[in-house]
Amino acid sequence: MTAPRRILMLVILCGVLALSALAAGSAGPASAQSSSAERPPGHGWTWPLEPRPAVVRPFDAPKRPWLSGHRGVDLDAEPGSPVLSPQAGTVVFSGWVVDRPVVTVDHENGLRSSFEPVSALLPVGAAATKGEPIGSLAPPPLGADASHCGTARCLHWGVRRGEDYVDPLAFIEDRRPSVLLPWSGPP
């Protein structure tokens, strides 16, 4: 093979490799987003209260499963406020836990939302439609000095993936840290 022919083959090979790398780089993130299991947080769920409530107390994951923490978020709300299903699912629990009424909705992909204190509107086994009421915020139990939020009124919303508690707000908002990407020059 002559030298000019080798150079031509080398240029063609480099061009093919460059195009392959470019195509692989642009296909990576798009293919990850196409899978619902790998979608970024903050996709598809809605707030369980309207209008958008203030967060009274954020999620605080314990360092170990048996340690203290706050396994959900507390949202500012008045007793009687409608509590909405943040995503479609099935009511799997409606009853009292210790001294307050709780409603739990099983969503797809092994996720469950629990709300307290909530007077249930739907019975166990009923379909919960995204954005539709599943109950109303109950007042603190009779004889109780305060609600879960101390003297404030609130809705406690917890989400579990399997047995692990996760931040409910991650299903509404993208809570990942911002990342600066390298600048590749003018568009």
DSSP conformational letter for 16: H
* pLDDT for position 39: 43
pTM greater than the 0.85 cutoff: no
Beta bridge partners, 55, equal 75
Question: Cβ(131)–Cβ(150) under 8 Å?
Answer: no
Report the pLDDT value the prediction gives residue 131, as an integer from 0 to 100: 95
β-strands 89-97, 100-106: how paired?
antiparallel
Tens digits of residue pLDDT in 36-81: 444 444 568 999 999 999 999 998 888 888 888 889 999 999 999 9
Considering only 48-52, 63-67, 143-147, 167-171, which range has the smallest mean pLDDT? 143-147
pLDDT at 68: 84
Instruction: Give 35's pLDDT tier (boundaries 50, 70, 90).
Output: very low
- Alpha-carbon distance of 34 to 62, in angstroms, equals 32
